[in-house]
Each structure stands twice: as C-alpha cells, then as structure tokens.
C-alpha cells in the first residue's frame, strides 16, 4: 500500500487573457446558476412534497437543464465544475443536517465565485496549468513552486469581490518538513492593544490594519451610497470599496503569516486559550477591534503550521482565569475589569502586568495539560478557584 502524504494547497494570483477571462466568467456564472437551481429544487421538494433530493437526483436535473433551449449555454463550458458545484451543495446539506453549519445560501454574483476543476478538466505540463477549453496556459507569477515531481490533483479558480483572480493548487506533499526540536515553550495571551503577549514578557503590537484604511474606506462607502444601485457607476464604486477591503485582508494575513511562522520556528510548544470568537464579536463595542485583530486566523495558522513542522499546539479551556489568577501564589481575584491593566495581588502583594501575568499562567497550565493529557478549567464550586480536571479527562 503506497504511503499517504498530507494534502496541501498553494494559492497564487494569476492574470488571464481577455479570452480566458471571458470563458472563466461564463464558467463561474454557470456554476452559480447550477448551484442556485439545485438548491431551489431541493428546497422546493422538501417544503412541497417532503422529499429529500440528493446528489444523484440533482445531477439528473442538470442533464435535463442542458437540454433546454434557454440553458444551452451550459454546454459551452466544462461540465466538471458544474458537477463539482452539485457535490459542494451535497456537502453543505450534509453539514447542515449534522448541525455543523446553517442552511445553504444562494450564491451571489457580486461575491465573485469559484469553480473547481478535477484532473479530467485541466492539464499540468512543464509547470504550467492548461484549463479545459483553453489553448494557452494561465499566466501565473509563481511565488513558490510545487515540490519536485508533484502534480496538482485539483485546481480551483476563484474571483474575489475586488475583481482579482486566484488559483488554488491542491496536491499531496511527500516532503518531510519537521523542524529540529528546540527547548523553548511559550504561552500566548491575545488582546486588542497588544495583538499577543508572550510569557517571556514580549508584547507584539496590534497593527490595526482597519484603522490604516478607515478614512479611505469611509470616503469610498459614502460615494457608493450616493449611486443608484445596479447602475454602472454604482458597480465602479462598489469595486473601489471591495479593493480597499481586500487590501485590509491581505495586509492582516501577511502580518499573521510572518508572526505565526516566527512562533513556530522559535518554540517547540505553543499554548493558547481556546477562544469563542463568534460569541465575543457580539459585543458591539469590541466587535470591530476583535475582528480586525484576526484571532481566529491566528489560531488557524498556528494549528496547521504546527502540524506541518512537528510542533505542539496546546489549547486550554477558555474559562481558565488566566488574567485574574496571581502567577506567584495562585490567588484568584473576584473582579478584574478590562480597564485595569496592572494590579497587585491582595494575598502576596505581587505586582502584575495583566497581559504578561495571563501569558505566564497560560504557559503554566499548558504544561499541566501536556503532562496529564487533559483539559483544565477552574472549579467554580470552590472559593479559592482551585484547578480541576475536566470530566472527559476523568473518564
């Protein structure tokens, strides 16, 4: 049995020719139409006849749609992305019935869109990508090459709301990327004023990318609000707003990539709190700052990079009182507002910087989780706030 290698995906921006862009836009439009029609058919079948349609039945509907006179343009593009759209819809319903996602939504043109091509719909030759029905390869400025001897198994073309084209190449990576073991371990406390505080005492400032572009974004959105919706000028103004949002997103991701790569290279074990970001952004006063910090993306990057490079990422329980607990004696104060950035322990008199103390406590309890193999959380039924192991770990 051949060895099973980890699956990865590299993303590149590319610049299609006029003919390629015309074909790709038609392909995205057909994918969107098929997805929306199949979603409408499945919804109608359930509410009117209490029937559940699956992938096989929607695929049969696609065959019928291609025979209709008003849908003949579906035959002008590759059939593979259309079938993949039905498979993605099936996955969306599977996640919905399993309680992992909400009910699928209809795709909108202004969001761009994507189309997935399997091996039968593209050709990989001499490090170039030839899509179905395209005679010329895609113009891709390679920021990094695929590993030697590796060919992509799936190609996904994506158009973002800012009008930029991206291609994702999915492949099995046979390389051994595990880094040499190092001694340091670090605890991370995420925040708003400081993006993260390390248990070593180092504070990494929050770049606040949104604030850098706020004035430009406000001006562009004000201009958009004055245009008649659906007009050509409205579309131009919408594109300007989307480009600014894309710049904010790109700068945020670039900063997080550099930061997480540094943390992975310098530390063997990284310990962080498991935060419920979706619940935290419900606070209207902090929602924009939390979203701009990108805590969820930070944790996501740490997770897959730790897996790639042989590091250990430990998540402790979100209810652990890392900020309220004295790192010297273990005393837990009853109340510590966010406005209090430094405090003195009433029991031992130790002076604490709120964030550095929290990072040190996260590191300490993370070592306990690593040794015991269990989640740790505060015992709310004891006045001293002693630590106890979670119920799952006691089984």
Phi-psi region of 187 (alpha: psi -120 to 50; beta: other; left: phi over 0): beta
| Alpha-carbon torsion angle 280, 281, 283, 289, nearest 10 | 110
Cα(281)–Cα(291) distance, integer angstroms: 7
Give me the catalytic one of 273, 297, 342, 344: 273
Residues 6+ apart with CB under 8 A from 133: 23, 77, 78
**How far is residue 115's CA from residue 34's CA, in Å, rounded to a whole number?**
12
Choose, from 21, 51, 266, 355, the residue flagged as catalytic. 355
Q: Are 263 and 186 in contact (CB under 8 A)?
A: yes
273 is catalytic: yes
Q: Coil, helix or strand for 264?
A: helix
HSE at residue 81, side-chain half, CA atoms within 13 A, is 29
Which residues on adjacent β-strands are paired with residue 188?
A: 198, 272
Q: Are residues 296 and 343 in contact, defined by beta-carbon separation less than 8 angstroms?
A: no
Q: Which of 369, 364, 370, 360 is nearest to 389 (CA)?
A: 369
Distance separating alpha carbons of residues 369 and 374, to the nearest angstrom: 5
**Calpha distance 241→254 (Å, rounded):** 20
Cα–Cα distance for residue pair 119/382, rounded to 1 Å: 60
The answer to whether 29 and 114 are in contact (CB under 8 A) is: no
Other Cβ atoms closer than 10 A to 71: 16
Dihedrals φ, ψ of 59, to 5°? -65, -35
Residues 6+ apart with CB under 8 A from 35: 85, 86, 88, 89, 106, 107
Q: Of 189, 254, 303, 334, which is the active-site residue?
A: 189
Q: Return the active site residues.
A: 189, 273, 355
């Amino acid at each position: 049995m051949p060895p099973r290698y980890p699956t990865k995906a590299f993303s590149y921006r590319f610049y299609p020719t006029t003919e390629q862009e015309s074909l790709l836009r038609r392909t995205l439009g057909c994918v969107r139409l098929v997805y929306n029609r199949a979603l409408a058919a499945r919804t109608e079948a359930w509410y009117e006849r209490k029937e559940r349609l699956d992938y096989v039945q929607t695929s049969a509907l696609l065959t019928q749609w291609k025979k209709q006179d008003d849908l003949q343009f579906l035959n002008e593009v590759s059939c593979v992305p259309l079938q993949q759209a039905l498979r993605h819809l099936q996955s969306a319903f599977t996640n919905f019935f399993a309680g992992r996602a909400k009910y699928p939504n209809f795709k909108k043109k202004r969001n761009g869109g994507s189309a997935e091509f399997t091996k039968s719909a593209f050709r990989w030759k001499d490090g170039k990508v030839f899509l179905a029905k395209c005679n010329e390869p895609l113009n891709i400025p390679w920021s990094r090459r695929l590993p030697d001897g590796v060919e992509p198994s799936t190609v996904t073309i994506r158009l973002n709301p800012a009008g930029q084209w991206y291609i994702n190449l999915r492949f099995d990576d046979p390389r051994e990327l595990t880094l040499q073991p190092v001694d340091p371990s670090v605890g991370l406390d995420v925040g708003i004023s400081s993006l993260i505080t390390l248990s070593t005492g180092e504070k990494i400032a929050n770049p606040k990318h949104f604030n850098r572009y706020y004035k430009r974004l406000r001006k562009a959105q004000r201009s958009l609000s004055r245009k008649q919706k659906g007009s050509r000028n409205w579309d131009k103004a919408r594109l300007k707003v989307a480009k600014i949002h894309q710049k904010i997103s790109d700068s945020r991701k670039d900063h997080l990539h550099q930061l997480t790569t540094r943390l992975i290279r310098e530390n063997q074990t990284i310990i962080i709190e498991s935060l419920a970001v979706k619940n935290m952004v419900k606070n209207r006063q902090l929602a924009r700052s939390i979203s701009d910090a990108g805590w969820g993306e930070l944790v996501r990057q740490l997770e897959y990079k730790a897996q790639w490079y042989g590091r250990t990422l430990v998540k402790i329980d979100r209810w652990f009182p890392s900020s309220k607990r004295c790192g010297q004696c273990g005393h837990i104060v009853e109340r510590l507002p966010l406005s209090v950035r430094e405090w003195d322990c009433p029991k031992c008199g130790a002076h604490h910087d709120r964030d550095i103390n929290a990072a040190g406590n996260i590191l300490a309890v993370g070592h306990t989780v690593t040794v015991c193999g269990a989640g740790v959380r505060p015992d709310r039924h004891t006045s001293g706030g002693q630590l106890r192991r979670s119920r799952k770990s006691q089984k």
